[in-house]
Structure 1
Amino acid sequence: MSTTTPRSAAPDHESPEAAARRLRRAKKAALAAFLGGALEYYDFFLYATAASLIFGKLFFPSTDSTVAQLSSFATLGVAYVARPFGAIVFGHLGDRIGRKNTMVLTLVLMGASTFLIGLLPTYAQVGALAPTLLVVLRLLQGLSAGAETAGASSLTMEESPVGRRGFFPSFTISGISAGIVIASLAFLPVASMNEADRLSWGWRVPFWASVLVLAVAFVVRRALEEPEVFEDKAQHNDLVKLPLTEMFRTHPIQFLQVAAMSFETVTNTFMQSFGLAYAVSVGVPTRTMLWVSVVGNLCAVATQPLFARLSDRVGRKPVFIAGVLGSAVMIFLYFRSISTGNLPVIFVTSTLITAGTYAMSNGIYPAWFPELFNVRVRYTGVAIALQVGILCAGFTPLLGTALVGSDKSHWLPAAWIVAGSSLIAVIGALTARETHATPLAELGNPVHHPAAGASERESVLTR
């Protein structure tokens, strides 16, 4: 890892016309990232909500409700297993054929998988085939999600004006929060139905509705252009053939740092799945918890860009670390409030985490993680490293359910899972390079190109 001190982010002087053009491209990329994130995580967290409330009864019938819930959460985790493979495949494509086309492909894959989940027969209708098909479609969702955020973040960061590289990529995460809001709102009418209608057809409607978001996001994303920094490399035949191997050769430390920092995502995954199921099990109404999610994530849509803008001024590291440590503390208050059934405190603590502490770290990583990698391996590096923590996050609801079991007053193990994950993220952040003031062309370590001379190869190996 380079130990040189970043120079000022002041760019080569641009004409007013060039600056205006760059700003337009950044806004367009941010909009596409927002809509893509909204679709991807509407679909992804729609499944998490259904896994918490529906799928255990329809696809994994059992006389023991805890066993059924464990089986349902296991399918939730299956997608997280698929995500690293999606990161490898689509990361390679993103660094070889471009960000835009790869992002369109991941978008369509997610939308189609989600729609088909809404058409699945249940266990009562086709037996073991039903959960098998559910797992297959969840795997396809995981493949898509494995590269969506990395692609949108990389493209938007590369298009952003100097001094605002944190702000514009943060709309990727605001889109994710919006997707969670939409998914929660879509399930509110379902939660109001009588159980017979909810289990027979009501749960399917939100999955079918994903087609509407897909159509809008597809149109916007198709209109994108490739970032100039990537186009320049492509035009000069300056891309690497195997981004995965080149990334591990030239950026092993950055990979480990981002992998560790990605454990900050455990907080949100735990709250959206285990937190919902746990709250319902202790008597908090389903509709109430869905509204808790709506309020927190709706506020986060606005606060994440603000925290990202702050990181453009004071640096990525202090804002990220403050947010992760804050979430590690607040999660204890969150589960305590659920265990006591105190609804006002549940709303307050959830919102303070989702739109406060978690938004501080979550709104920054779409800029910081890509900034740690060279443009030639950026998509691959971010996609794969990010999935390490997210893979672990996917199974934390299963672990929390197993540890808490039937004793609903025994919530401390769940909180400690989040706190421990936060500690891992802090360690990664403390060792990572501060990049908010580093010029775009100097981000990451040098990456060898086959045409490079011996001096460049020596520089790459010794840096």
Structure 2
Amino acid sequence: MSVAALNGQSALRNKDRTKVALSCFLGSAIEWYDFMLYGFLAPLVFDKLFFPHADPVAGMIAVLGIFAVGFVARPLGGLFFGHFGDRLGRKPVMAATLILMGLSTTAIGLLPTYDSIGIWAAGFLLALRFLQGFALGGESTGAPVLMLESAPEGKRGVFASIAQSGNFAGVVIATLVVSFAAALPSDVLLTWGWRVPFLLSIVLVGLGFYVRLKVEESPVFEATRTPPARVPLLQVLDNYKRPALIVFCCALAESGVFYLTSIFGLSYGVKTLGIDQATLLRGVLIGNVIAIAMVPLFGALSDRIGRRLVLGTGFVQAGLYVAFLFFPLLQTRDTLLVVLAMAIPGALIQPMHIGVTSSFYPELFPDTRVRFSGVSLGRQFGTIFGGGAMPVIAASLLAWSGGSLLPILIYFSLVSVIAIGAVMAAEETRLRAI
């Protein structure tokens, strides 16, 4: 690290890092609340609202397909905001992503349904889902980068992971709100009840934007950005293809385990097994409440024993859990075991991933001028194939196989093996200068 960067971090130490941490935590929580509302509500009501005449299986695939569009947009948003984040600064990009996410989520709550405007309703829903993903592509990379570059020496893992704890807090809030909405009488839920969670976004975004404006720019970025890279993405492709590929492979499993268990698991439990959605959501809620605390713990552990060991162990656990435990626990239909099945990924497996990748990914890119773009390239494209596509691929494989889970298990096992191989191929980064 340069002397200028070290002086910048020292100056920030004399201030209060709490503002940076609070801003990133709240911003991540709000954006993930917005993004996950669709995932939790869609399997419950959106097939009836936007695809009322479709076959139940086809309707579920269509709804999950629109869910996946948010992930198609994420790399585009990541690269767009990454370009300006590397050239202009982390702070203005973080404000822009929050506003875009809030407006697009609120607009979903105002959408007319199929009964009002026909197939155009699904088209508008798809467009707004695209904008949500576009915004999250910038936020999900920018918040950890800003936290990493503002961290005290020797504590980058734990400090960067605080932003990612906000992801789980957002999922908790979304789960609670959707649980209340799901408890409404069916006719109320289908008329106006489903809109309320989306409309609440405008209030949360106002709070988050106010806090985010108070944050200082990254001291490391301020000290090392001159001269800026003309096109940061091209420099990544020229000089940092290997780190970007490692991030891509890790992101496959990092995102895949959450969306397979929480989104496809919710749909599979309700539609195929006939499990009450409140029971499934209770498991998601419990797991994500625990994760808020577990993510920084694993971040701190990676500061002590290394990023690769903690992350690799997490990927092994994810593969084994999905292959041997998750679906058998759901199939018991026992309330306690179903809650346990949905809670374990959030409580243990995902924190081992997220608590480490928030520092590991940016540390793979030593050049501050291209770091945002490099992480965005690998992470957002990895998230498409790992997370965004996972629910719709799983639903399609289930339909193709006549209800057999084996193709799904094989697919996720391959994703896990790829991620484990990427960790083994990477260098340890916890002591690397940034």
**Contact (CA 8 Å) 2:9, 2:150: kept in 1 or not?**
no
Give the whole-Å Cα distance in 2 for the aligned partners of 1:400 and 1:297: 22
Does structure 1 residue 249 correspond to structure 2 residue 249?
Answer: no
Amino acid at match of 2:427: R
**Contact (CA 8 Å) 2:83, 2:233: kept in 1 or not?**
yes
What does 1:288-367 correspond to in 2, within 5 Å?
Answer: 288-331=279-322, 332-367=324-359
Amino acid at match of 2:325: L
For residues 320-368 of structure 1, the C-alpha deviation after alignment (integer angstroms, 9 at most, x for no partner) is 0001110111123111111221222222233332111221112111111
Residue 116 (structure 2) aligns with? 125
Give the whole-Å Cα distance in 1 for the aligned partners of 2:310 and 2:72: 30
Cα deviation for residue 406 of structure 1 reads: 9.0
Residue 371 (structure 1) aligns with? 363
What does 1:180-199 correspond to in 2, within 5 Å?
Answer: 180-199=171-190
Residue 460 (structure 1) aligns with? none
Give the whole-Å Cα distance in 2 for the aligned partners of 1:219 and 1:361: 30
Cα deviation for residue 29 of structure 1 reads: 1.9
Does structure 1 residue 29 correspond to structure 2 residue 20?
Answer: yes
Amino acid at match of 2:335: L
**Contact (CA 8 Å) 1:23, 1:160: kept in 2 or not?**
no
What does 1:33-432 correspond to in 2, within 5 Å?
Answer: 33-234=24-225, 237-263=226-252, 264-281=254-271, 282-331=273-322, 332-373=324-365, 374-392=367-385, 393-405=387-399, 410-432=404-426
**Contact (CA 8 Å) 2:6, 2:220: kept in 1 or not?**
no
For residues 389-417 of structure 1, the C-alpha deviation after alignment (integer angstroms, 9 at most, x for no partner) is 21112111111111112988623333333
Give the whole-Å Cα distance in 2 for the aligned partners of 1:420 and 1:52: 26
SS in 1 for 2:53: coil
**Contact (CA 8 Å) 2:283, 2:341: kept in 1 or not?**
no
Give the whole-Å Cα distance in 2 for the aligned partners of 1:88 and 1:36: 19
Cα deviation for residue 20 of structure 1 reads: 8.2
Give the whole-Å Cα distance in 1 for the aligned partners of 2:6 and 2:347: 38
SS in 2 for 1:439: coil
Give the whole-Å Cα distance in 1 for the aligned partners of 2:158 and 2:127: 36
Does structure 1 residue 435 correspond to structure 2 residue 424?
Answer: no
For residues 62-116 of structure 1, the C-alpha deviation after alignment (integer angstroms, 9 at most, x for no partner) is 3510011111011001111111111111110100110000010011000100000
Cα deviation for residue 312 of structure 1 reads: 0.3
Task: Report how many residues are paired.
Answer: 429
For residues 25-79 of structure 1, the C-alpha deviation after alignment (integer angstroms, 9 at most, x for no partner) is 5432221111111111101110111221111110112351001111101100111
Amino acid at match of 1:379: F
**Contact (CA 8 Å) 1:304, 1:355: kept in 2 or not?**
no
Cα deviation for residue 439 of structure 1 reads: 2.3
**Contact (CA 8 Å) 2:23, 2:211: kept in 1 or not?**
yes
Larger Rg: 1
Amino acid at match of 2:246: Q
Give the whole-Å Cα distance in 1 for the aligned partners of 2:381 and 2:63: 22
Amino acid at match of 1:258: V
Amino acid at match of 2:338: I
Cα deviation for residue 271 of structure 1 reads: 1.7
Give the whole-Å Cα distance in 2 for the aligned partners of 1:224 and 1:85: 26
Amino acid at match of 2:251: S
**Contact (CA 8 Å) 1:87, 1:143: kept in 2 or not?**
yes
Identical-pair percentage: 37
Whose helix proportion is higher, 1 or 2?
2
Instruction: Quickly say closer, same or farther: Cα 1:414–1:56, change in 2 above 3 A.
Output: same
Q: Relative to structure 2, which stretch is displaced further, 297-306 or 62-71?
A: 62-71
The TM-score normalised by the length of structure 2 is 0.94
Give the whole-Å Cα distance in 1 for the aligned partners of 2:236 and 2:420: 23
Instruction: Quickly say closer, same or farther: Cα 1:18–1:206, change in 2 above 3 A.
Output: closer
Cα deviation for residue 158 of structure 1 reads: 0.4
Instruction: Quickly say closer, same or farther: Cα 1:179–1:230, change in 2 above 3 A.
Output: same
Give the whole-Å Cα distance in 2 for the aligned partners of 1:24 and 1:372: 28
**Contact (CA 8 Å) 2:105, 2:201: kept in 1 or not?**
yes
Give the whole-Å Cα distance in 1 for the aligned partners of 2:102 and 2:121: 20
Give the whole-Å Cα distance in 1 for the aligned partners of 2:205 and 2:267: 28
Unaligned runs of 5+ in 1: 1-9, 441-463
Amino acid at match of 2:262: Q
SS in 1 for 2:275: coil
Instruction: Quickly say closer, same or farther: Cα 1:323–1:18, change in 2 above 3 A.
Output: closer
Give the whole-Å Cα distance in 1 for the aligned partners of 2:196 and 2:282: 19
**Contact (CA 8 Å) 2:279, 2:339: kept in 1 or not?**
no
Amino acid at match of 1:224: V
Residue 459 (structure 1) aligns with? none
Unaligned runs of 5+ in 2: none
Instruction: Quickly say closer, same or farther: Cα 1:436–1:225, change in 2 above 3 A.
Output: same
Instruction: Quickly say closer, same or farther: Cα 1:11–1:251, change in 2 above 3 A.
Output: closer
For residues 211-259 of structure 1, the C-alpha deviation after alignment (integer angstroms, 9 at most, x for no partner) is 222112111111111111111234xx32111101011111111111111
